[in-house]
Amino acid sequence: MLNNFINNFIETIDYLEENIKLILKNIDPEIQRNTQEIRIRANRPLIIKCFFKNYYVYNNSQIGLDKNNNLYIISEDQIKKSFENVCEYSVYAYQEEINNGFITLQNGSRVGIVGTAVSKDKKIINIKNISCLNIRIPKNIFNVADELITKTMSKGLSSLLICGAPGSGKTTLLKDIIRQISLGRLGYLYNISVIDERGELFGNQAKNKFQNKFENNFDIFDRYPKPTGMMIALRTMAPDLIVCDEIGSKQETDAIEDILNSGVKIIATAHSSNEQEIYIKPQIKRLIEIRAFEKIVILGSNKKPCEIKKIILI
């Protein structure tokens, strides 16, 4: 498993400017394995987040909390070259994603983009003068969903809403739930449709060598808008289960209602800093009221990802 985590790190930093890539490539493998984010800001120190803390990166590829003359400083040109690499030298092809503030790489890593917004009719039509890129590196952790599946699906497939704050492990759990159910963990090979709107669950399946090692019984609707993907899956794939990440819009909840009426199970995630917040979000509250989910799973803090804090029966 160590090599798989490191390979994901190496694949991700391959998009960065050559000197940044070299510094990060020489970081200790244990640090690479635990890196969650890489943050590069123009004329500012290179920072990585690992072990759930932010650290400076030094010129010798060491990391630490001390601000000294050995800090590796990112130049404006390095930001520009990294951004061009992320866009595969075709900004136009990624314009819609750029306008939304992020680009998802082929392996599922997500690059947040900060710069100067160009707006028209109160809508962002471009981001120029890129000043910061924040790369979030996804983790594929096997069997992290063991406890959740045991506690929520002992009697068979169930519809779940997994809630937690950013960094609490929602997506990591979701990926392992999909993997385990697709491999027959529940005693049956269910048809699973995964609506991967941002490519963060499994990235580009055709190019994701790590994920292609598994013979999984699920279909990935890569970059489909969630409402559209859910309805196409429902009408064409005869799914037993539809899975999607980060629900919350009216269009998404409307689609989930249609799924509910069809008898298909759904597993989804939603942002929530605490249990109380779930019930004050109008669309999530609506889904709870119509019993779209059988159970709500509340996760703990981002300091201990994938920890189940509470399970609520609906």
Regarding whether 166 and 114 lie in a shared domain, the answer is: no
pLDDT, tens digit, 9 for 90 and up, residues 158-188: 999 999 998 899 999 999 999 999 999 999 9
Regarding whether 294 and 213 lie in a shared domain, the answer is: yes
Is residue 141 one of the residues assigned to a domain?
no
Regarding whether 193 and 125 lie in a shared domain, the answer is: no
**Residue 167: what pLDDT?**
84
* Residues of the chain with confidence (pLDDT) below 70: 1-6, 203-216, 302
Regarding whether 185 and 109 lie in a shared domain, the answer is: no
In whole angstroms, what is the distance from residue 44 CA to residue 47 CA? 9
**CATH number reported for the structural domain that contains residue 115 in this entry:** 3.30.450
**Residue 26: what pLDDT?**
97
In whole angstroms, what is the distance from residue 34 CA to residue 29 CA? 9
Regarding whether 197 and 106 lie in a shared domain, the answer is: no
When divided into structural domains, the chain yields a total of 2
Regarding whether 130 and 55 lie in a shared domain, the answer is: yes
- Of 106, 136, 166, the last residue of a domain is 136
Domain, as residue range, for 128: 2-136
- Of 136, 158, 188, the last residue of a domain is 136
Regarding whether 164 and 282 lie in a shared domain, the answer is: yes
Regarding whether 159 and 131 lie in a shared domain, the answer is: no
- Strands of the sheet with 218-222, listed across from one edge: 218-222, 192-196, 241-244, 265-271, 160-164, 295-299, 308-313
Q: What is the CA radius of gyration of the chain?
A: 20
In whole angstroms, what is the distance from residue 285 CA to residue 20 CA? 45
Is residue 88 one of the residues assigned to a domain?
yes
**CATH number reported for the structural domain that contains residue 284 in this entry:** 3.40.50.300
On the CB side of 52, CA atoms within 13 Å amount to 9
Is residue 300 one of the residues assigned to a domain?
yes
Give the residue carrying structure tokens 């590069």: 40
